Chain A
Amino acid sequence: MEEKSRDKHTKKSGHNREFAVVAYSFLAIFVLLMGYLIYFEAALGEKFINNPYNKRQELFEQQVVRGSISTADGVVVAETLTGADGAEVRYYPYDNMFAHVVGYSTHGKTGIEALENFHLLRSNVSAAEKVIEDLRAVKNRGDHVVTTLSFDLQKAAYEAIGVYRGAVVVMEPATGKILAMVSKPDYNPNTVVEDWSLLTAEDNDKSQLLNRATQGLYPPGSTFKILTTLEYLAEHPDYENYHYNCSGVVTVDNNVIHCYGNTRHGEEDLMSSFARSCNTSYASLGLDLDITRFGELCNNMLFNSGLPLPLEYKQSSFVLKEGDSAADIMETSIGQGKTLVTPFHMALITCAIANDGMLMKPYVIERIENANQGVVESYKAVEYKELITPETAAVMQEFLKNVVKEGTGRKLKDTSYEVAGKTGSAEYHTGSDSSHSWFVGYAHMDGKEDIAVAVLAERAGSGSEYALPIAKEIFDSYYKQ
């Protein structure tokens, strides 16, 4: 309308140009307001709806029966049961088995219950059904969340770790699917409300509520030699010429590094140092590394940064820097020192190596269905980032296979599947004899998807004796089917 009046009047008086400028500027502002509101609703709305501080979610709970959660193979692991009197109970049929990854929704929300709260409380049944449900005065049925978890693998992992404290993560390197995630000690989500004061008591040192798989920070021990090796490969294209004579102990500036059990490994090259997890060899080669570049490599491998994971997690840290003492460098090179990682992060690194360097974005939700199994939304594997080049990955794969062939992973040698992996024993405080037991690795058998595992058993002892058998049980269970 400005257009017209302006035309008419500019001809007559020429006085209205400024008015039109003002009018159009303000119109632009109004359009901006509307544009931002549309953008907000379309792009940001869900993030705000899903925020745990948003009390409006309770409104949905009054209208919708919270949907159920199942594994990829269709086993329901969380559901809401409505009694004859209309009272609702959130029921977890497998008690502790899925506790950390599925979480609970009865005392705050954690795990997938928190992550998918929005979908669980949205009902996508047909409009006709909604009307019928409204007329019958029953609540609409919320959407059903299908996870990527495998019931059998979760069960195998849960049983394999047994009474140890620790965590297991099982993933599919080619897709980034999280197949199993166990943390011990655990709790029963069915009774979390009743047990709350016990679980959170000050003198409770078990931290059952903590998801050790993603939130437990541990020294990586010898599994970190994967990263030290990667840095050495990057700096020394002639790594095949490396050799070292291990006497079981090395001393630099009064710092003494022993091999595990003071074993003398003798003459070795890089591959055999890695396979035997030779501390003295790695502590010595660490001293030759460019520490700044080493830090960059670790940052590139997602240390000191966020992980692509929607569940709650802690950041791994690598703090070694140029100018640190020889002792720090030697300790860090063999996975002691100040470096801390989560089992989940180690699983990601393993996945990237197994997948020729490309890390697939980890995901735990396969699809959302309405209450009648109609698919509402489904998620696909996407590439996250190339952590290492395919060439480096190929070399690393050989190193890891060699560990099983002739190194600390020999117990996995005579199996129907081929394993590549690394053991680790991490002293959790200086001068102590007992250590956390690690195993990270992946397995291959023609005709089945590869799987990668990361196992951590707290205070168990050496990796080959404790963590490795846990991984073996999981591989056995997966490949025997």
Chain B
Amino acid sequence: MMFLFALYTFMCFAVFRGNRNQKKKDRIFLWQRVLMYVIHFSAFLALYAVQDDWRVIIFYLFQVILISITLTCYQLFYSGASMLLANNMCMLLIIGFTILTRLSIERAIKQYIIALAAVVLTMLIPLLIRKITFWKRMTWVYALVGIAGLLAVAVLGKTSYGAKISISIAGLFTIQPSEFIKILFVFFVACMLCQNPNFKTVCIATAVAAVHVLILVMSRDLGGALIYFITYLIMLYVATRKLFYFASGMLCGSIAAMVAYRMFTHVQVRVVAWKDPLSVIDNEGYQICQSLFAIGTGGWFGMGLGQGMPNKIPVVEQDFIFSAIAEEMGAIFALCLIMVCASCFLIFLNVAMQMKDQFYKLLALGFGIVYGFQIFLTVGGAIKLIPSTGVTLPLVSYGGSSLLATMIIFAVIQGLCVLRQDEGEDNGRKKQGQAYQKVRSQ
């Protein structure tokens, strides 16, 4: 399985090598899908062998249906869509389903239902992106809805692990609005900064962004605050092309981090746990130590699905799913997983670079940063490269809000791919040149 996944990962990057024409690329994507199904099958076969639960088989079949419908839809309805991105999305979903089924099949099934709803919902998004043109005129709608949403959480939210991040709706289910407001936030920033921003605009945008970040800090969602903050700074840098803004932002951020460290005990706890987890293993360091035990014991090749003890790690399904994957499927598999995530990030950035309209460019960039930075925080936290911030691994971790939000982001990017193709066709008629091939290639 590890070998197959490594092959899959290799193909993610091999697609771009040399002058491959569309036909060859399509063949690679087809092979990726074949590999994906084989990995999926063998993973669930292993799970069934270990858990001996008929639900695993039924659940597997449902997943196959979901995956194949998703892939077929993208192929049929959106000819410009990036098949690589669609493949990667499905691959990550499969890995998520696999490890969640291993950890708790009930949670995996819940996750599946949300994924199903998300696929149906997000299938329309590329269409909306393509047809609706007033996206960039709703600047203040994004900002107001976003701030109102975050405020609602800060006031009504319930506290878990030291942070207020979720609100429960009618007692039925809980959502984490900050996951969705991330999307609005990126839209807002892209709107503000897309037309050669002058100093005044920058000030206004910064003030609004600061309000977002401060509300998040107030509700003690520091991981979230960090994501918003970094996303804004990088988008600002790219839009204004002034490194000065970024540098001064980072300076302010560092000062703010120092203050936060003094103010919030749960930040101190995490830093202490990060510095030397073994010395505080009974208290602060317990979680990170369990994560490192898991990754270390798993070794390069993993203990095998169902053979490890990932449930020893607190909140393993969310913040530490990466450790569970590393433990049971091995470090090599985990490395490939990082590379698949990197591949998604590169697709985002590639789209950003190829779009012509600055608004869409910034949009794709913003989502790329949100996605990439989140990977950095969650994986870095699990392997103790950085203090853990309580961020989920997009598409893999358990959590409906995170899953749905990420799928929306992926769908928006697919929408941009479709738009790009439209642009490309205009171009192509004039030039009939290389650009056409390049654009089609995705």
Residue ID in chain A nearest B347 by CB atoms: A1
* A135 to B131 Cα, complex, angstroms: 62
Are A5 and B350 neighbours in the complex by a CB distance under 8 Å? yes
Q: Judge whether A40 is part of the interface by a CB distance below 8 angstroms.
A: yes
Are B349 and A37 neighbours in the complex by a CB distance under 8 Å? no
Q: Of the candidates B308, B309, B383, which one forms a contact with A37 in the assembled complex, judged by CB atoms under 8 Å apart?
A: B383
Contact size class for B? 35 or more
Encoded as 1 (CB less than 8 Å from any A CB) or 0, chain B from 309 to 350 comes to 100100000000000001000010011001101100110011
* A17 to B365 Cα, complex, angstroms: 13
> Known contacts A5-B354, A38-B335: does B312 contact A55 (CB below 8 Å)?
yes
Residue ID in chain A nearest B292 by CB atoms: A48
Question: Which A residues, 15 to 66, have Cβ-Cβ distances below 8 Å to chain B?
Answer: 15-20, 22-23, 26-27, 29-30, 32-34, 36-38, 40-41, 44-49, 51, 53-56, 59
> Known contacts A29-B372, A37-B338, A51-B278: does B293 contact A22 (CB below 8 Å)?
no
Are A1 and B16 neighbours in the complex by a CB distance under 8 Å? yes
Q: Judge whether A8 is part of the interface by a CB distance below 8 angstroms.
A: yes
Q: Of the candidates B295, B342, B349, B369, which one forms a contact with A41 in the assembled complex, judged by CB atoms under 8 Å apart?
A: B295
Q: How far is the CB of B191 from chain A (nearest CB, A)?
A: 18
Residue ID in chain B nearest A58 by CB atoms: B309
Q: How far is the CB of A190 from chain B (nearest CB, A)?
A: 30
> Known contacts A16-B353, A33-B376: does B295 contact A40 (CB below 8 Å)?
yes
Contact size class for A? 35 or more
Are A40 and B289 neighbours in the complex by a CB distance under 8 Å? no
Are B349 and A22 neighbours in the complex by a CB distance under 8 Å? yes
Q: How far is the CB of B72 from chain A (nearest CB, A)?
A: 26
Are B303 and A59 neighbours in the complex by a CB distance under 8 Å? yes
Q: Judge whether B352 is part of the interface by a CB distance below 8 angstroms.
A: yes
Are A45 and B338 neighbours in the complex by a CB distance under 8 Å? no
Residue ID in chain B nearest A30 by CB atoms: B342
Are A5 and B438 neighbours in the complex by a CB distance under 8 Å? yes
Q: How far is the CB of B309 from chain A (nearest CB, A)?
A: 5
Residue ID in chain B nearest A17 by CB atoms: B241
Are A54 and B295 neighbours in the complex by a CB distance under 8 Å? no
Q: Judge whether B38 is part of the interface by a CB distance below 8 angstroms.
A: no
Q: Judge whether A314 is part of the interface by a CB distance below 8 angstroms.
A: no
Q: How far is the CB of B381 from chain A (nearest CB, A)?
A: 11
Residue ID in chain A nearest B235 by CB atoms: A22
Q: Judge whether A398 is part of the interface by a CB distance below 8 angstroms.
A: no
Q: Judge whether B270 is part of the interface by a CB distance below 8 angstroms.
A: no
Q: How far is the CB of B229 from chain A (nearest CB, A)?
A: 15
Residue ID in chain A nearest B309 by CB atoms: A56
* A46 to B297 Cα, complex, angstroms: 8
Q: How far is the CB of B94 from chain A (nearest CB, A)?
A: 21
* A41 to B292 Cα, complex, angstroms: 10
* A55 to B435 Cα, complex, angstroms: 57
Which residues in B have their C-beta under 8 angstroms from that of A46? 296
Are B354 and A41 neighbours in the complex by a CB distance under 8 Å? no
Q: Of the candidates A20, A30, A56, which one forms a contact with B353 in the assembled complex, judged by CB atoms under 8 Å apart?
A: A20
Q: Judge whether A9 is part of the interface by a CB distance below 8 angstroms.
A: yes
> Known contacts A53-B289, A55-B312: does B338 contact A23 (CB below 8 Å)?
no
Q: Of the candidates A4, A19, A53, which one forms a contact with B349 in the assembled complex, judged by CB atoms under 8 Å apart?
A: A19
Q: Judge whether B212 is part of the interface by a CB distance below 8 angstroms.
A: no
Which residues in A have their C-beta under 8 angstroms from that of B296? 40-41, 44-49, 54
* A22 to B354 Cα, complex, angstroms: 15
Q: How far is the CB of A9 from chain B (nearest CB, A)?
A: 6
Q: Judge whether B46 is part of the interface by a CB distance below 8 angstroms.
A: no
Which residues in A have their C-beta under 8 angstroms from that of B365? 19, 22
Q: How far is the CB of B297 from chain A (nearest CB, A)?
A: 4
Are B345 and A8 neighbours in the complex by a CB distance under 8 Å? no
Are B297 and A56 neighbours in the complex by a CB distance under 8 Å? yes
> Known contacts A2-B346, A19-B349: does B338 contact A56 (CB below 8 Å)?
no
Q: How far is the CB of A172 from chain B (nearest CB, A)?
A: 33
* A453 to B50 Cα, complex, angstroms: 55
Q: Judge whether B281 is part of the interface by a CB distance below 8 angstroms.
A: yes
Are B335 and A37 neighbours in the complex by a CB distance under 8 Å? yes
Encoded as 1 (CB less than 8 Å from any A CB) or 0, chain B from 219 to 258 comes to 0000000000000001001100100000000000000000
* A1 to B292 Cα, complex, angstroms: 34
Show the binding face of A for B, using Cβ within 8 Å: 1-2, 4-6, 8-9, 15-20, 22-23, 26-27, 29-30, 32-34, 36-38, 40-41, 44-49, 51, 53-56, 59
Additional A-B contacts beyond A2-B346, A33-B383, A56-B294 (19; CB < 8 A): A6-B353, A17-B241, A18-B238, A23-B368, A26-B349, A26-B372, A26-B376, A30-B338, A30-B372, A32-B385, A33-B376, A36-B380, A37-B295, A37-B331, A40-B383, A51-B289, A51-B293, A53-B289, A59-B307
The 6 closest A-B pairs by CB, nearest first: A48-B296, A45-B296, A1-B16, A18-B238, A30-B342, A56-B297
Show the binding face of B for A, using Cβ within 8 Å: 16, 234, 237-238, 241, 278, 281, 289, 292-297, 299-300, 303, 307-309, 312, 326, 331, 334-335, 338-339, 341-342, 345-346, 349-350, 352-354, 361, 365, 368-369, 372-373, 375-376, 379-380, 383-385, 434-435, 438
A-B contact pairs, 18 of them (CB 8 A): A5-B354, A17-B241, A18-B238, A18-B241, A22-B238, A23-B345, A26-B345, A29-B372, A30-B345, A34-B339, A37-B295, A41-B296, A41-B299, A48-B297, A51-B278, A54-B293, A56-B297, A56-B303
